[in-house]
Structure 1
Amino acid sequence: MLISTLIRDLAKELSPLIGSDRPSASPGRVGIFISIKTAAELVGMSPQTIRSWIKTGDLEGFRVKNGPWRVDRDQLIDLVQPVRKSTPGGAA
């Protein structure tokens, strides 16, 4: 089973907690922000991996005052989508 299918299934299960019933990302739309713990559970990684992605700039994270770190759910899901391997002829 592809990781993207697993992520979609997990996102459906977590939708009441993370608000996936909201429209997808578009210009001018406020993102759906989730905690590092929820982000890690959503993609099956450790919270330390999520923090590492924030530190290296692969994932944007932010804090308001001294509150917990938050990440944009849609950006996280885009980050973990599998990349198709190209064939020697260049086709995907």
Structure 2
Amino acid sequence: MAVVAVFELPGMTQDMYQQITNKLSDGRGAKSPSDWPVAGLLSHTTATTPDGLLIVDVWESEQALQQFGQIVAPLHQEVGAPTPTPKIYPVFNLVTA
């Protein structure tokens, strides 16, 4: 079952985000789901907030999200970004272009 993962990351900057996505994608910046190191990403959106970043992902399964988390969490530590702890919700409707 697909899941939505909502990451609220106070203190995280756009520069930290770009460093992480470059590390995930061998410098390509992770512009496509195929750039992610784990299969199963359906959508990824990042927005700035008054105190950091908000990231909303949709994954094919919670297992795929957990696999990604094992890869991305150490990268957050490496660049000094907050530890990602998502709120996870089951998807009941997903509309894509």
Query: What's the TM-score, normalizing by structure 1?
Result: 0.28
| Pair member with larger Rg | 1
The answer to which structure has the higher strand fraction is: 2
The answer to which structure has the higher helix fraction is: 1
